[in-house]
Amino acid sequence: MNCHNEIRKIKEVIKNYTEGTFTANAAQLAQAFHPQAVMNGFLGGEMLITTPQVFIDNVAGSPAMSAQGFAYNAEIESIVIEGSIAAVTLSETGFMGSGRFVNFFHLIKDNGEWKIISKLFTTIA
């Protein structure tokens, strides 16, 4: 396995996630997720156990953050790959004007393509 090539492919998945989120592009955002993905975490103090589709629909139903003037920033803090699975830590600030999000993504390589299979997230004030 060419680790540099796999890291590049994983970064492309995360780029689809962040750009799709920022621009309210539902198709680009959905492309990052595996069809059977799950999404769980805390939004403020509220626990959410759901699927990415709820998030995708919410983002798509709002004007793009770029159009709203939000200073959104997303930074990959770590990538760990073991065979056909990977873990990515992503820190986001300025999502819809909120504080900071920390996301733990698990990715799986399915039919040669990396996809997010789970997202665990929390907000930090």
Residues 6+ apart with CB under 8 A from 108: 34, 84, 85, 86, 114, 115, 117
Tens digits of residue pLDDT in 44-53: 889 999 999 9
Tens digits of residue pLDDT in 71-95: 888 999 999 999 999 999 999 988 7
Its domain, for residue 14, covers: 3-124
pTM score of the predicted model: 0.91
Domain total in the chain: 1
Phi-psi region of 123 (alpha: psi -120 to 50; beta: other; left: phi over 0): beta
> What does each of the 125 residues of the chain score in pLDDT, given as a tens digit?
578 999 999 999 999 999 998 899 999 999 999 999 999 999 888 999 999 999 999 888 887 776 667 788 899 999 999 999 999 999 998 876 677 889 999 999 999 999 999 999 998 87
Which CATH number does the domain housing residue 15 bear? 3.10.450.50
**What is the distance between the alpha carbons of residues 14 and 58, in angstroms, rounded to a whole number?**
18
